[in-house]
Amino acid sequence: MKLLLIHSDFIEYEAKKKALKSAEDIDSKEPVRVEEVLVAFCSVEKKDEKAKKGIISNSVEEILKVYDQVKAKNIVIYPFVHLSHEPSSPAAGLEVVKGIEESLAKKGHKVKRSPFGWYKAFDIKCKGHPLAELSREVSAEGTKEGEDDEVSEALKKEAELKSQWFIVDTKGVFHKVSMKNGKVSGFDLSKHPKLEKLAMYEMEKSREVKEQPPHIKLMRKLELVDYEEGSDPGHFRYFPKGKMVKSLLEDWVTANMLKYGAMEVETPIMYDFEHPALKDYINRFPARQYSIQTPNKRTFLRFAACFGQFLMTHDSSVSYRNLPLRLYEMTRYSFRVEQRGELAGLRRLRAFTMPDCHAVCKDVPQAKKEMMRRFDVSRDIQNGIGLNVDDMELSVRILESFNKEHPEHLKDTVKRWGKPALVEMWNKQFFYFIFKQEWNFIDALDKAACLTTDQIDVENASRYGLKYTDTDNTRKEPLILHLSPSGSIERVMYALLEKAHMQQVSGKHPVFPLWLAPTQVRLCPVSDKFMKDVEKVADEFERENIRVDIDDRMESIGKKIRDAETEWVNMIAVIGEKELKSGKIAVRFRKDNGKVSEMTKSGIVKLVKKETEGFPLRPLPVPRLLTKRPVFFG
């Protein structure tokens, strides 16, 4: 808020004509004159919209400080948009200046306010003493109302939400659970230690990370990813190997979603705060979004693909024959301003790549059937990535009334999962969804991170005006399913690295699945004199789309093998005179704890093709010769 405070002998103002369509109505256009007055010219700014109550409170305090010093008898609040380069929306501006006027009046002061949204003529006579002309810039800092009022109300309502916790077994039996003395009580979880960790994590609702997750060290050591200090916290730089792994994961998820029948689209990353549907959504379900002031409007960076896909569907002509209508986007990027204490490497960050697929469905029966199909698609995706049911635990959030009407849906979901699940059941609806499933990875620090998630949305069709034409030619509102089949790509990378760390702790040699490995085969010549022959072998492998590199350093074979192991190279092939004469290469397999097998070149090609069949391809992301590579992190 910008304030210009003028202590005046008088001010006289007269409303001429409306400057805005939304200008407030006034009873009279007759001139108004106020004498012995402190005139507060006010400009409400975009940033003030997040904390209107705080702005009102602090503005009143600043006005009264000057009012008491100059001994004025009256106060005039004069909206004056020209004090700011980033004015608020008219609605927010009017709300704030009205609030200032009402607050001053309640404190017993004589106050008037010039009409908002009008062109006005005014005449003013400043007294000219040292305190007669003062400017102030007001923020909401230090007030209880220092956050968005509408957001505060939404959070209050969320806090009033009551829920019960259950463990539901594969037979569909509900076991009510609670936290007692720091432990989960009500179900024997001794055979399900990860589910117990998930239950404790969710029921205690602790998100803060107090120590560095192991995957952070690994992502740097393997030269995949690192923090970008030149950006905002929670933003990353991807080195060539990391970029390739990320791209392959994106390709894999997208290929499976297209096979499922989703239509791929692309939508903007920023949206208008004042768009009616978007504003209603943001106010109802607050998120920590980035705000950006463009030359034209105040916008926010998306935290999901919902906004663009819903607006696209709104403008489309949809028939019952088109349902389920599946739209999919690999969002590069989505944004969420997570709290500093919650940021934890690739697990929780502020800019992320989220595959989002929405299915517009006719009714609940179609939505339930579609959700089961998407369950199977998601399982195939995760299995291909190298994460299976043993690595994850299922949690479900469900509305009590929905479970009473459709008790088989939750039971069928848990049965399909194949082991007990954690269930939170609400007594009344607050969120836009009535059923939500989450596949949670439990990391080395016993923190849970949601990967796959799907939801039945019963509100946003109405909010965004989505309709379809039914068999009787009437327009009806659909249901919407929200699916992220893998979770964010960054979080998938985190899960793979955390799983690898836990394997390492248990004595296993961690590797990426062969299709994801930056280097699939490393060739280690015994000496320089074999380099030309080794390069010919590498050429043959490259023609077969194998990611192969050559350790051409002046190092011993032992050193070359040890370094390849630390880089998690899946297959290490030593080539010397013996191998060239026999046609058989000694191949060391990292995933088999260093087992060595003699293989022909064609045998190596056949093995790699078998293990990578059906998966996307990318070339080697770094120079083939190790001596040609820079060190990105070390």
Residue 63 in this model has a pLDDT that exceeds 80: yes
Q: What is the dotted CATH code of the domain comprising 2-147?
A: 3.50.80.10
DSSP string, 331-347: EEEEE----GGG-BTTT
Segment 281-305, tens digit of pLDDT: 877 766 678 988 888 888 999 999 9
pLDDT confidence of 148, banded at 50, 70, 90?
very low
Task: Give me the pLDDT at residue 287, please.
Answer: 65
Task: Give me the pLDDT at residue 46, please.
Answer: 86
Q: Please report, rounded to a whole number, the percentage of residues in the chain having pLDDT higher than 90.
A: 83
Q: What is the DSSP letter of 50?
A: G
Segment 576-608, tens digit of pLDDT: 999 999 999 999 999 888 899 999 999 999 999
Q: Please report, rounded to a whole number, the percentage of residues in the chain having pLDDT higher than 70.
A: 95
Task: List Cβ neighbours of 392 (8 Å cut-off, separation of 6 or more).
Answer: 382, 439, 440, 441, 442, 451
Q: What is the dotted CATH code of the domain comprising 163-168+193-497?
A: 3.30.930.10
Tell me the average pLDDT of the chain.
Answer: 93
Task: Give me the pLDDT at residue 51, please.
Answer: 87
Higher pLDDT, residue 154 or 368: 368
Please compute the mean of the pLDDT values over residues 621-631 and round it to a whole number: 97
Segment 7-21, tens digit of pLDDT: 999 999 999 999 988
d(CA 269, CA 267): 7
Are 360 and 324 contacting, i.e. CB atoms less than 8 angstroms apart?
Answer: yes
Q: What is the DSSP letter of 273?
A: T
Are 541 and 514 contacting, i.e. CB atoms less than 8 angstroms apart?
Answer: no
Listed by start position, the domains of the chain span: 2-147, 163-168+193-497, 521-628
Please compute the mean of the pLDDT values over residues 210-239 and round it to a whole number: 94
Residues pairing with 442 in the sheet? 448
Task: Give me the pLDDT at residue 295, please.
Answer: 87
d(CA 257, CA 254): 5
**From the centroid of its chain, how far is CA 163?**
25
In a 3-state reduction of DSSP, which class is residue 569? coil
Higher pLDDT, residue 142 or 547: 547
Please compute the mean of the pLDDT values over residues 459-486 and round it to a whole number: 97
d(CA 209, CA 229): 20
Task: Give me the pLDDT at residue 149, please.
Answer: 47
Please compute the mean of the pLDDT values over residues 354-371 and round it to a whole number: 98
d(CA 574, CA 518): 19
Please compute the mean of the pLDDT values over residues 181-206 and round it to a whole number: 90
Tell me the CATH architecture of domain 521-628.
Answer: 3-Layer(aba) Sandwich (3.40)
Please compute the mean of the pLDDT values over residues 394-419 and round it to a whole number: 97
Residue 154 in this model has a pLDDT that exceeds 70: no
Task: Give me the pLDDT at residue 146, please.
Answer: 47
